[in-house]
């Protein structure tokens, strides 16, 4: 029986214990593969029939999970869903053999089938991926479980595995985004920290709007957030525990302002900028306090530091040349090498999780752009252009960039957008109201 091929990774527990699935198995050798390094691709057509109701009143979950898997895949721009109205045959049993010819006829190159059962408030999700044109299953079927309230996470996990099997890269759907939720008029904006799934669902607020807050950043494990708050009347760096929403100030020296914090890749250090006497430089300290170390000391502005994924280097912006440009230095400071040389100004550099690219904000000729360049400054590409785009954040797999786009004028307001690093698939991320400063979490565990 096919079902015996399913691996039993059933973990009936709450959301936090929805633990790692097995790593995707070796890629099938076959034609079903998107090479997403190519400049232009034709989206790969797939079909996701409603998952089977395997009992316990799981019917709604079965169809909602299939819909969300389809939305995740289609949302990448790398896949295109074949609508169910085109289906020739239907899936009536998760165990039955697939009628490949019926899916070939409608040009569904990938087929995803699944089944969901419910028992005692927990769901069990099983799914398979088929390479329709070669007529074989792609990788092994998988099964996992979790509480019914975490059905969206289970759908995102299914989509991550499908994405991974077809592209050969890890996915990014089972992830969260921390951001600044904004309200009120432009000259009296109220801001609070929000956290949501990468697709805008399940929003929670982490702070109230009583103090201005800016630019939250996740820890490498996603359980803590660094941000800047005006709680004391002066901007200071805070660290917040996502689960308890407890927070504490990391810096609070009289007469100094600190901002632009980010974690080191091992999560033990914080790099940030500090303004004293009008001069802004880059410092690091332990996330648990103490161990301050100055990394730059120049009369120019040094800010927006970001570690390389191996923790060896820091990319940052400085106006030491007269305009904002990007530089890389050792994580212990010292000589910095300039990497941006094009026209205009460059700021907010962020090292990609793959290590090969640096995303940045560019200002040139009255327009703002989100762009990427290699770490030596070569192959600069601008991905967006608008009145005001800024603050790129990488998806956990380094494939997508989320950023803030603010519209012009008295009624102007910020919104979150994402774009593929190819420059395609610019999309607005749905939020309740104006939002800014997104920061993407790592893939959840």
Sign of CA pseudo-dihedral 73, 79, 80, 82: negative
Task: Find out whether 335 and 292 touch, Cβ atoms under 8 Å.
Answer: no
- Between 132 and 326, name the residue whose CB sits nearer to another protein: 326
Find the helix or strand (DSSP H, E) in which 263 lies.
strand 256-263
DSSP annotation string for 39-101: SS-PPEEEE-PPPEE-SSS-HHHHHHHHHHHHHHHHHTSSEEEPPGGG-SS----TTSPP-HH
Question: Closest separation between CB of residue 376 and another protein, Å?
Answer: 23
Question: Closest separation between CB of residue 188 and another protein, Å?
Answer: 8
- Between 120 and 322, name the residue whose CB sits nearer to another protein: 322
- Between 290 and 343, name the residue whose CB sits nearer to another protein: 343
CA distance 408 to 253: 36
Give contact residues for another protein (rule: CB under 8 A). Answer: 185-187, 189, 212, 214-215, 232-235, 254-255, 257, 259-260, 273, 275, 277-280, 301, 303-304, 317, 319, 324, 347-348, 361, 363, 387-388, 390-391, 406, 408-410, 412, 437
**Strand locations in 308-356 (E):** 313-318, 325-330, 333-338, 345-351
Other beta carbons within 10 Å of 21: 17
Question: Closest separation between CB of residue 390 and another protein, Å?
Answer: 5
- Between 83 and 433, name the residue whose CB sits nearer to another protein: 433
- Between 228 and 395, name the residue whose CB sits nearer to another protein: 228
- Between 379 and 411, name the residue whose CB sits nearer to another protein: 411
CA distance 310 to 391: 22
Collapse the DSSP code of 329 into the 3-class scheme (helix H, G, I; strand E, B; otherwise coil) and give the result: strand
Task: Find out whether 102 and 36 touch, Cβ atoms under 8 Å.
Answer: no
- Between 245 and 413, name the residue whose CB sits nearer to another protein: 413
Question: What residues have CB less than 8 Å from 436, skipping those under 6 apart?
Answer: 179, 180, 182, 191, 391, 404, 406, 414, 416
Sign of CA pseudo-dihedral 210, 214, 216, 217: negative
Question: Closest separation between CB of residue 406 and another protein, Å?
Answer: 8
Task: Find out whether 328 and 314 touch, Cβ atoms under 8 Å.
Answer: yes
Question: Closest separation between CB of residue 282 and another protein, Å?
Answer: 11
- Between 113 and 251, name the residue whose CB sits nearer to another protein: 251
Collapse the DSSP code of 102 into the 3-class scheme (helix H, G, I; strand E, B; otherwise coil) and give the result: helix
Question: Closest separation between CB of residue 59 and another protein, Å?
Answer: 47
Question: Closest separation between CB of residue 296 and another protein, Å?
Answer: 12
Question: Closest separation between CB of residue 315 and another protein, Å?
Answer: 13
Question: Closest separation between CB of residue 323 and another protein, Å?
Answer: 8
Cα distance between the two ends of the chain: 31
- Between 143 and 209, name the residue whose CB sits nearer to another protein: 209
- Between 110 and 382, name the residue whose CB sits nearer to another protein: 382
Question: Closest separation between CB of residue 389 and another protein, Å?
Answer: 10
Question: Closest separation between CB of residue 230 and another protein, Å?
Answer: 8
Residue 147 φ/ψ, nearest 5 degrees = -70, 150
Q: Which of 95, 199, 151, 142 is nearest to 418 (CA)?
A: 199
Query: Can you say how many angstroms the Cα of residue 279 is from the centroid of all Cα atoms in its chain?
Result: 33
Task: Find out whether 305 and 315 touch, Cβ atoms under 8 Å.
Answer: yes
- Between 149 and 232, name the residue whose CB sits nearer to another protein: 232
């Amino acid at each position: 029986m096919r079902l015996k091929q399913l691996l039993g990774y059933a973990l009936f527990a709450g959301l936090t214990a929805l633990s790692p699935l097995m790593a995707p198995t070796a890629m099938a050798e076959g034609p079903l593969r998107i090479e997403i390094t190519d400049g232009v691709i034709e989206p790969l057509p797939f079909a996701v029939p409603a998952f089977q109701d395997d009992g316990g009143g799981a019917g709604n979950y079965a169809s909602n999970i299939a819909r969300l898997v389809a939305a995740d895949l289609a949302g990448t721009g790398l896949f295109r869903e074949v609508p169910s109205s085109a289906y020739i045959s239907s899936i009536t049993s998760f165990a039955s053999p697939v009628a490949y010819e019926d899916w070939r006829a409608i040009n569904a190159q990938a087929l995803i089938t699944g089944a969901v059962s419910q028992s005692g408030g927990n769901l069990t999700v099983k799914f398979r991926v088929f390479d329709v044109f070669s007529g074989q299953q792609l990788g092994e079927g998988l099964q996992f479980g979790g509480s019914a309230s975490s059905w969206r996470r289970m759908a995102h996990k299914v989509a991550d595995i499908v994405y991974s099997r077809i592209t050969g890269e890890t996915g990014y759907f089972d992830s969260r985004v921390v951001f600044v939720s904004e309200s009120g008029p432009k000259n009296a904006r109220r801001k609070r920290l929000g956290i949501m799934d990468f697709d805008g669902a399940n929003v929670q607020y982490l702070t109230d709007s009583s103090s201005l807050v800016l630019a939250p950043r996740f820890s490498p494990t996603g359980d803590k957030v660094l941000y800047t708050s005006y709680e004391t009347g002066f901007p200071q760096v805070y660290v917040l525990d996502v689960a308890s929403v407890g927070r504490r100030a990391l810096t609070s020296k009289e007469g100094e302002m600190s901002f632009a914090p980010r974690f080191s890749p091992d999560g033990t250090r914080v790099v940030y900028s500090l303004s004293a006497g009008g001069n802004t430089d880059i410092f690091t300290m332990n996330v648990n306090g103490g161990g301050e170390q100055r990394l730059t000391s120049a009369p120019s502005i040094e800010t927006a530091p970001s570690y390389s994924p191996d923790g060896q280097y820091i990319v940052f912006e400085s106006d030491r040349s007269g305009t904002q440009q990007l530089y890389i230095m050792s994580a212990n400071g010292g000589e910095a090498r300039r990497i941006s040389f094009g026209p205009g100004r460059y700021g907010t550099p962020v090292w990609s999780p793959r290590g090969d690219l640096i995303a940045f904000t560019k200002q040139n000729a009255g327009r703002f752009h989100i762009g990427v360049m290699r770490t030596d400054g070569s192959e600069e590409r601008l991905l967006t252009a608008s009145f005001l785009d800024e603050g790129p954040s990488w998806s956990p797999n380094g494939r997508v960039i989320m950023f803030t786009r603010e519209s012009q004028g008295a009624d102007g307001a910020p919104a979150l957008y994402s774009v593929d690093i190819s420059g395609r698939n610019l999309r607005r991320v749905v939020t309740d109201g104006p939002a800014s400063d997104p920061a993407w979490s790592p893939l959840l565990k």
